[in-house]
A and B are shown apart, each in its own frame.
Chain A
Amino acid sequence: MLHTAEQQSEFVPSFKQTVHHLCSNDPEHQLGIIFIHAGSMGRAWEGEISNWLKAERTISFELMIEDSHHLIAIMLRRAALDETHYYALQLKMLLEQKFAGQPIVCAIAAVADAAEIEELIEGRLAELTVGGAYSDIRVLHDELRPMDARRILVVDHDESVREFLNIWLTMKGYEVYEAEDAYSALDRIHSEPFDLILTELNLYGINGLPFISHIQKMNLNPAPKIVILSEQRVEQTIDYCYQQGVNDYITKPFSPVELDERLSRCF
């Protein structure tokens, strides 16, 4: 099924109506939605996307185009967020192969009812129709950060740990900042307030224990909570950290679910 709405004013009600219809037809499952900013290539991409999804056969879909802002909306029946994300990846790759050089900007969501999608796209449709210079897949749920989001500074020498914590904690509604070593972390702490500092003990330059002591000597008001996420598992070190007033100590390898629980306990 293919809908075309010439104007955004027509597109939005029509889109919401379709979402409402699909959600109410299948209340047990989520509806995955992929928005693709198509620029001037809307019509060319639409054909490619439609053909690819039809060839997939494993997923039932609806496709809508908002011509004035070149936005393509794909609704995937019975698709949770991870599946929607995966399809968005495939579509992005397909378009990149077919239309080389064109940055592909997608936004994804998975909703259980029409009210949820209303909340997700309320006043953001224009934002979704603005293409970026780089290819990207944005998860709309992650961008709904509360105004009073807690600010966390992640200090770790390992880039992959920082990257994961940034994705994971942002997803959990925190505002995440990164520092590679204690020096740059101290600079940041001097210049801006943080609610929590999540740090490794093995750091370049200043090691973790003196780093904690530095933070405590700064007499910040309010003092940030300090949580250690470290490879060090020596009992004496853990005891020492607690004696120094650290709020929690988590050892690597870690479980993201447990990390989230223990961080929320700190506030």
Chain B
Amino acid sequence: MFSNLDLAVAFIYVCLGLIGFGVLILLTMKARSIMLERKRSALLEKHQPYFVYLQRHIVDPDPFQPPKGPLSPLETRVIQDKLMEWIEKFRGAQRQKLTALCEDMDLVQLDRKQLSSMFYAKQMKAAYRLGGMRSAQAVEPLIELMKQEKDGPLLHVLARSVAKCAEHLDQLYVMLQQLTRHRKGNYLNAAEVLEETSLDVTPLLLQCMEDRDHNLVKTALLALRGQTGVTLTPALLRLADSDDKEIRSLAVKMLVRAGNILPEETICSWLTDPEGEIRAAVAESLGQFGYEGSIPALKQALTDSDWWVRYHSAKSLAMMGDAGFRTLCEAALERDDPFKSDMAKDRIHEELLREHFFANRRKQISGAHTKQSLYEQYFGQASSVPNIRGIGGDYSA
């Protein structure tokens, strides 16, 4: 009994000791962090005249002079952080001038060495800082490390840094290959990473669209999403027949959104694609583009077995002015397919509520209630106040 009590007391003392030790470590870390922050503030203040010099002469033709005299490692990092902050804020010659100063101060060289450190955290910080300085000198070691690295946070930081520093499209191509080789889903990230570069990536993306690697094709399609040039059409039409459903979906969406005049049979063929995701994407894109020639195909798509296809078809019809809304009303009254009429009713209800809401907000006159009057033509005056129970809807999803 006694021995058990002694053991318990000893255990409590050990626990208290461990807690005390833990608290001490936390307090030490906190104190260190506060001290470091104070040191940084003092150094920022010390170098403020130098920072004013940099800002004051940022557009002058001569290169910046690096700060004279020996700098402590912390001092170097404080100046580097400030330079990186400005590099992100400026573009063109001013950015290049700041990058050149980083190179003159050997900051790029310093972080290049750190890239080969044994410590992961140091490599990560070095990769981040090299990207922040946007120096072309950093591209080669960054790519080399990418080749050795497995999929993980460091690979993504390295890719982002390569995108920031690259001065040739070839370097970006290698970066994309390395980034997408590990995991299928990395193409989403790859397309986003490409936004960091200051190069015109259109030629590279066009080259990627022809690539055998499906991940590169997807990256290119995602990165080109905002572009609507008809020059892309031949390549996109080819990709619309791809075996990969994601490529097909992205290509078809782009084709529709680009505003190409597409034959009805082409649209119909896409709306009968075996993948529901693609049919839904086509239906959605047709509404965003507002191509009235697709109304019959969209009406047909209201009978689709996939809820999302029906939903996007109805939504797109509602976006196509009077003709689209009339088609929705007709579909709501037809009794051949309950899913079709339910989805149409559901969308009509949404549209009337939306119109009602905006009319109240904008204090519009009653003449502006176009959809309301169209609705009354089909369903009569008595039904003019929509309510969800009266109209029904497609809740099969």
**Residues of chain A whose beta carbon lies under 8 Å from any beta carbon of chain B:** 80-83, 85-86, 89-90, 92-93, 135-137, 139, 160-161, 163-164, 167-168, 171, 252-257
CB contact list, B298-319 vs A, under 8 A: none
Question: Whose C-beta in chain A lies nearest to the C-beta of B52?
Answer: A167
Is A167 a contact partner of B90 (Cβ separation < 8 A)? no
Is B56 a contact partner of A139 (Cβ separation < 8 A)? yes
Is B86 a contact partner of A160 (Cβ separation < 8 A)? yes
B92: interface (CB < 8 Å): yes
CA distance A90 to B69 in the complex (A): 9
CA distance A89 to B54 in the complex (A): 11
Contact status of A83 and B53, CB under 8 A, knowing A93-B68, A256-B90: no
Contact status of A86 and B90, CB under 8 A, knowing A80-B60, A256-B58, A256-B59: no
B212: interface (CB < 8 Å): no
B243: interface (CB < 8 Å): no
Is B89 a contact partner of A164 (Cβ separation < 8 A)? yes
CB contact list, B41-67 vs A, under 8 A: 49-50, 52-53, 55-60, 62, 64-65
Choose one: A92, A135, A171, A255; the contact of B94 (CB below 8 Å): A255
* 26 intermolecular pairs with C-beta atoms under 8 Å apart: A80-B62, A81-B60, A82-B60, A82-B62, A82-B64, A83-B65, A85-B56, A86-B53, A89-B49, A90-B68, A92-B49, A93-B69, A135-B49, A137-B53, A160-B82, A163-B55, A164-B55, A164-B89, A167-B55, A168-B55, A168-B58, A171-B56, A253-B95, A255-B93, A256-B90, A256-B94
A137: chain B residues at CB < 8 Å are: 49, 52-53
A257: chain B residues at CB < 8 Å are: 59
CB contact list, B68-91 vs A, under 8 A: 68-69, 82, 85-86, 88-91
CA distance A167 to B54 in the complex (A): 11
B88: chain A residues at CB < 8 Å are: 253
Most buried by A among B56, B57, B95: B56
Least CB distance, B224 to chain A, in whole angstroms: 16
CA distance A264 to B242 in the complex (A): 53
Choose one: B53, B82, B85; the contact of A85 (CB below 8 Å): B53
Contact status of A254 and B57, CB under 8 A, knowing A80-B62, A93-B68, A137-B52: no
CA distance A89 to B69 in the complex (A): 12
B60: chain A residues at CB < 8 Å are: 80-82
CA distance A115 to B125 in the complex (A): 53
CA distance A257 to B95 in the complex (A): 12
B69: chain A residues at CB < 8 Å are: 93
Contact status of A255 and B91, CB under 8 A, knowing A81-B60, A163-B55, A168-B55: yes
Least CB distance, A56 to chain B, in whole angstroms: 10
Interchain residue pairs A-B with the least CB separation, the first 5: A82-B57, A253-B91, A82-B60, A86-B65, A167-B55
B68: chain A residues at CB < 8 Å are: 90, 93
A163: chain B residues at CB < 8 Å are: 55
Least CB distance, A230 to chain B, in whole angstroms: 12
B82: chain A residues at CB < 8 Å are: 160
CA distance A139 to B52 in the complex (A): 11
CB contact list, B93-130 vs A, under 8 A: 93-95
Question: Whose C-beta in chain B lies nearest to the C-beta of A171?
Answer: B56
Question: Whose C-beta in chain B lies nearest to the C-beta of A158?
Answer: B89
Question: Whose C-beta in chain B lies nearest to the C-beta of A166?
Answer: B55
A82: chain B residues at CB < 8 Å are: 53, 56-57, 60, 62, 64
Is B52 a contact partner of A254 (Cβ separation < 8 A)? no
Question: Whose C-beta in chain A lies nearest to the C-beta of B95?
Answer: A253
A80: chain B residues at CB < 8 Å are: 60, 62
Question: Whose C-beta in chain A lies nearest to the C-beta of B88?
Answer: A253
CA distance A86 to B101 in the complex (A): 14
B91: chain A residues at CB < 8 Å are: 253-255
Choose one: A171, A252, A255; the contact of B92 (CB below 8 Å): A255
CA distance A241 to B53 in the complex (A): 35
Least CB distance, A175 to chain B, in whole angstroms: 17
B52: chain A residues at CB < 8 Å are: 137, 167
Least CB distance, A61 to chain B, in whole angstroms: 17
